[in-house]
Amino acid sequence: MTAIAAAPAIIGTARAQARTITFGGSIPLSGRAAETGLNVHAGYLAAVKAVNDKGGIEVGGQKYMLDLKMFDDASDPTRATTLIQQQIDQGVDFFLGSFGSNIVLPTAAITERARKPMVQAGGGSDQIFTQGYRYVFGFFPRASQQFISSVEYFKTIEPRPRTFSVIFTNDAFSRTQADGAIKDMEAAGFQLMDRYQLPETITDVSSVLNSLRAKTPDMVICTTHDQNSLLISRQMAATDTHVKLLYQTLGPQLQSYREALGRFANSIMVQIYWDERANYKDAVFGSAKGFADTYRSINPRPLAYHTAAGAACIVVYLQAMQKARSVAPAAVREALATTDVETLYGRVKFTKDGDGDPILLGPRIGQVQKGAVEIVFPTEAASAKTVYPAPKWSERS
Amino acid sequence: MTLVLQTLLDGLVLGGVFSLAAAGFSLIFGVMNVVNLTHGIFVLIGAYLAWSAQHFLGVDPLLAIPGVMAVLFAAGYAYQRTIIQSAVDRSSLLASLLVTFGVALVLRNLLVLAFGPDFKSITPSYAFTNLKLGALTLDIVRISALAASLGLIALLAFVLYRTDWGRVIRATAQQDFAAGLCGVNVRHVYGLTFGVASAFAGAAGAVIGIVLPFAPPDEGHWTMKAFAVVVLGGVGSPAGALLGGLLLGLINTFTAQFIGPAFPNAMMFLVLVLMLLVRPHGLLGSAFGGSR
C-alpha cells in the first residue's frame, strides 16, 4: 500500500494563462453499444466539467483547462478508426477509449502507431493487451482474467454448486471471457456440462433452454452483452427454465434491464466493477460518493459503473501528467505505466501489458435483490448476503 | 421425441413472427419491384409506438396494434407519394434502393433522438407466464405473438383477395399500364400498397416488441430477415410470406437444436443460396409474376 500515491488535490491555482489539454476519441452514442457508450461518455463529461469548474489543473507550473472531443462512432469499428485517424492528423495527443473490444482494438492500433496514449474503460478483450502495445491502458482486466474473483466467490457458496454451463455469443469479448471462465472454473473443480455459442445478434434461445431443461447445471454463466442477456433471462423466466444460480457478466447492472424483468430480476448475479458506497478517495471529486453526487447534480442519466470508470480515466490521466510534470505524450505514457493511485473508481494500477490489475480492478460480485444490485462478494465489501439457491421464477418476489 | 416436438413448436412460433415481419416487404417488392430498405425501421417504429402506448397510456401492446397500423399506414402512404415516387420518376427503381437506404439511416437516428439509444422492452401483464402441455412448455408471450401474426396475415390476405382495395392492388401489380387504362389511379394504388405494407410492418413491430428487447440499430436485422423470407417463400403474397417465415423459423430452431446454436444464420444463408440456384422465385413463386 505504500506505493499508492496519496491523492493530492490536483486542481491547480496557477496564475499563468491557461492552456488546453484536449482528450480525443470516439464513443458509441448510437448503434448497438450506445447504452453503455453513453454511460462511459457521461463519465468523461462529468470529469472534464468538474475539473474546469474548479479552474483547471496545474502541470509543471502551467495551468491547463480540459477539452473533450469525442465523436459518435455509431458502434462501428470502421467509422471509429476513421475518426481516430482524423484526430491524430489534427494533432490530438491524448485519447480516451470507445466502448466495446471490437472498436477499442482497431482504434488502439492507430493510437499506438502514432505513440499517443489511450486510457480506456471499454475494451477487455485479450487481444487488446497481447499485441505488445505500450501506449494503451485499460481499466478492466483482460477478459480471460475477469473470472478470477467470480470463481473465488463460487467456492464460498454453501451448499457448493458443482456443475455449470456457459452461454456466450460469437464476438471477441464474449468468447474470450467464456474461454477464461471455463478454464478458471474447471481448474477450481467445477464441472462443465455444456457450452452454448450463439450468433452475435440473437432473436431466440429456445433451443438452448430446451437443452438446459433436459440437462440442468447448478449454474448458468452468460458472458453476453446487455441486450442479449435480457433476452436470455426473459425467455428463461417465461419458460420456467430454472437454475440455482444465473450469472450474467453484463445486463443486470442496468436499471433498464431490471425494470424490464421486474421481480424476475431478483437473485440474478452480475459482475460489478464499482460501488458508490465504497470508501475511495479521489483527487478531483473527493470520494466515490462525491463523484456520484456531482454526477447526479449535472446528469439525469442513471449512474452506472461504466460512468465512474469513464470519469476515472481522466482522473488517472491528470495524475499521470502531474507526476510526469509534462504534457508530452511519451512522458505521460511512462507515468501511466507506473500508475498506482487511489481514485473514485478504486485503486488503479495497470499490468505490464496495460490492462487493469486483476486483483485491484477485478470485478466484485453483485446480486439483484429487491430490484437493486447488492454486493455479495468480496465479503469485506458485501452489502448483502447471497441468496442461493435462487427461488424458482414463480416464487420470486 | 419431446425435444423434436418442442423444437417444432418453437420454430413455428418464431416463424410466425418472421412471417408477419416480412409480409409488408414482400407486398411492396411484389407490387412495385421496390426493395424497401426502410422496412426494418418501420418495424421498429411500430415497436416504439407500442412501447409508448404501454409506457404512457398503459395500453396492452397487442391492443395498440390498430392504432400503430393507422399511424404507419398514413406515414407509408405519404412516404411513397413523395419520396419514393419522386425517386422512381427521376431515375430508376435502383434509385429507390438508395433512397430507402438513406431514409432508413435518417429515421434510425431520429429514433435515437426521440427514444434514446438504450434498448427498450415491452412487458405485458402475461409476459412471464407459460402453458405446459405434457412435457412441452409454451411461452404465452410467444404464443400470443404467433396468434397475432397469423391473424394479421389472414387479415392481409383478406384485404388483398376480398376487398376492392386488394383487387386494384393486384390488378396494378399485374399490369400497371392496363390498370391505368381501366381507370385505376396507379400512383394512388402504389401509395395504398406502401401504406398497407407499412401498417403491417408496424404491427409486426408491436408483436416483436413483446418478444424481444429492441433498439434502433436492429432495423437492419429485420430488413435482412424479411429479405430472406421473401427469397424462401416467394414474392407478393401473404401465403409466400407465411410459408417463408415458418420455414425460416424452423431452420433457425432445428439448426440451433441439432447442429449448434451458433449456426442458424449460416444454415439460413446456405438454404437461401440453394433456393436462388434451384428456384429463384421462391417456393410459391411471384404472386403477380405470371401476368407480367
Q: What are phi and psi of B96, to 5 degrees?
A: -65, -30
Smallest Cβ–Cβ distance between B212 and the set A208, A231, A262 belongs to: A231
Query: Which of A273, A259, A240 shows the shortest CA–CA distance to A394?
Result: A240
CA–CA distance, A255 with A274 (Å, rounded to integer)? 15
- State how far the Cα of B250 lies from the Cα of A200, in Å rounded to an integer: 20
Compute the half-sphere exposure of residue A202: CA atoms within 13 Å on the CB side of its CA: 32
Residue A117 falls in which region: left (phi positive, over 0), alpha (psi -120 to 50) or beta: beta
CA–CA min distance B102, chain A (Å) = 16
- Nearest-CA neighbor of B75 among B44, B115, B34, B101? B44
Distance CA B108, CA B110 (A): 5
Q: Given pLDDT bands bounded at 50, 70 and 90, which one contains residue A2?
A: very low
Domains A19-141+275-349 and A145-273+364-395 alike in fold: yes
B260 closest CB neighbour out of A28, A197, A227: A197
**Inter-residue contact B136 to A212 (CB < 8 Å):** no
CB A7 within 8 A of CB A280: no
A33-52 tens-digit pLDDT: 888 899 999 999 999 999 99
pLDDT tens, position by position, A170-192:
887 788 889 989 999 999 999 99
> Which chain A residues are Cβ-neighbours of B128 within 8 angstroms?
234, 237-238, 264, 393
Report, as an integer, the average pLDDT of A359-384.
89
Per-residue pLDDT reduced to its tens digit, A237-268: 999 999 999 999 999 988 889 999 999 999 99
Q: Do the Cβ atoms of B118 and A38 come within 8 Å?
A: yes
> Does domain A145-273+364-395 sit in CATH 3.40.50.2300?
yes
* B93's grid cell: 427503381
Chain-chain contact of B137 with A213 (C-beta, under 8 angstroms): yes
Judge whether A237 and B128 are in contact, CB under 8 Å.
Answer: yes
Which residue of A204, A205, A240 is in closest CB contact with B137?
A240
| Share of chain B residues as helix, strand and coil, in percent rounded to the nearest 5 | 75, 5, 20
CB–CB of B264 and A199 under 8 A? yes
Check if B220 contacts A (Cβ < 8 Å): no
Mean pLDDT across chain A, nearest whole number?
Answer: 91
Interchain pair B257, A210: CB under 8 A = yes
Length of chain B: 292
Angle A200-A201-A206 from CA coordinates, rounded to 5°: 105
Domain ranges in chain A are 19-141+275-349, 145-273+364-395
| Of B99 and A14, more confident | B99
pLDDT band at A81 (very low <50, low <70, confident <90, very high): very high
Give, in order, the Cα–Cα distances in Å from A292 to each of A37, A249, A344, A364, B157. 18, 23, 9, 18, 56
Which DSSP letter does residue A383 get? S
Summarised one tens digit per residue, pLDDT across range A287-307 is 999 999 999 999 999 898 899
**Which ipTM value was assigned to this complex?**
0.82
Determine the pLDDT at residue A12: 45
Would you state the pLDDT for residue B135? Answer: 78
pLDDT score recorded for residue B289: 58
Residues of B in contact with A205 (CB under 8 A): 261
Q: Which three cell numbers stand for residue A275?
A: 460501488
Residue segments in chain B with a per-residue pLDDT below the cut of 70: 93, 286-292
Q: Which residue of A has its CA nearest to B110?
A: A30
φ/ψ of A116, rounded to 5, equals -115, 130
The x, y and z cell numbers of residue A95, run together, are 485519447
Q: Is A371 on the interface with B (CB under 8 A)?
A: no
The answer on pLDDT for A89 being more than 70 is yes
Nearest-CA residue of chain B relative to A263? B128
Please state which CATH class domain A19-141+275-349 belongs to: alpha beta
> Are residues A199 and B3, on separate chains, in Cβ contact within 8 Å?
no
Let me know if B291 is exposed, middle or buried by CB neighbors in 10 A (0-12, 13-18, 19+).
exposed
Measured CA to CA, the distance from residue B174 to residue A190 in angstroms comes to 65
Using left for φ > 0, alpha for ψ between -120 and 50, and beta otherwise, residue A19 falls in: beta
* Dist CA B62 CA B144 (whole Å): 9
Mark residue A168 as left, alpha or beta (left: phi above 0; alpha: psi -120 to 50; beta: remaining): beta
In angstroms, rounded to a whole number, what is the distance separating the alpha carbons of residues A249 and A366? 10
Query: What are the DSSP E strand ranges found in A87-190?
Result: 94-96, 118-120, 136-138, 163-169
Residues 169-228, chain A: which have Cβ within 8 Å of B?
A: 170, 196-199, 201, 203-208, 210-211, 213-214, 226-227
Three-class SS state of B68: helix
N-term to C-term CA, chain B: 46
pLDDT value at position B288?
A: 63
Residue A15, pLDDT > 80, answer: no
Question: Which ranges in B80-214 belong to alpha helices (H)?
Answer: 85-90, 93-115, 140-162, 164-174, 176-181, 186-211
Q: C-alpha cell of A301?
A: 442519466
- Listed residue (A152, A158, A238) closest to A188, CA to CA: A152
Measured between beta carbons, which residues in chain A are less than 8 angstroms from residue B22? none
- The domain segmentation of chain B, as residue ranges, is 2-222
CB contact under 8 A, B119 and A238: no
The pLDDT tens digits for A193-232 are 999 999 888 888 988 998 999 999 999 999 998 889 999 9
